C-alpha cells in the first residue's frame, strides 16, 4: 500500500495480498477472452471465484482481523 499510515498494519498487508491475487485472476480472465471487471460475470469463472474465496479464508486464518473486511466487503464478490 502506498499510504504510509498502513505500513506495519497486518490487516492492510492481508488486504494488499488479497487484492493482488484478485487482480491477477481478473487479468487471467481477460486473457482468456472475458471482459472481466469482476469475477461474477459468468459461471465459467467459478473456479476463479472458488480460488479467491479459498485464498481469502486462508488469509483469515493467518490474520483473523482481516475476516471482518472479508465478510463485510469482499465475500460478496466470490458468490455467484
Q: What is the pLDDT along the chain (80 residues), one digit of tens a residue?
A: 466 776 789 999 999 999 999 999 999 999 999 987 888 888 999 999 999 999 999 999 999 999 999 999 999 999 87
Distances (CA, A) of 78 to 44, 48, 51, 55: 13, 8, 9, 11
Counting the structural domains of the chain, the total is 1
Look at residue 36 and tell me if it is in a domain: yes
pLDDT of residue 41: 80
Give residue 61's domain range: 7-78
* Domain presence at residue 1: no
Return the closest-CA partner of residue 67 out of 20, 15, 3. 15
64, 10 contact by CB (below 8 A): no
Q: What is the pLDDT of residue 15?
A: 96
pLDDT score of 2: 62
d(CA 18, CA 74): 9
In the numeric block, the cell 473456479 is attached to 47
Q: Would you state the pLDDT for residue 80?
A: 75
In a domain, 2, yes or no: no
Amino acid at each position: 500500500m502506498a499510504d504510509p499510515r498502513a505500513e506495519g498494519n497486518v490487516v492492510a498487508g492481508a488486504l494488499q495480498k488479497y487484492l493482488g491475487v484478485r487482480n491477477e485472476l481478473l487479468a487471467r480472465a481477460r486473457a482468456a477472452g472475458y471482459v472481466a471487471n469482476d469475477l461474477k460475470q459468468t459461471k465459467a469463472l467459478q473456479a476463479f471465484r472458488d480460488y479467491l474465496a479459498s485464498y481469502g479464508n486462508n488469509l483469515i486464518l493467518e490474520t483473523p482481523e482481516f475476516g471482518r473486511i472479508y465478510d463485510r466487503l469482499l465475500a460478496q464478490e466470490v458468490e455467484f
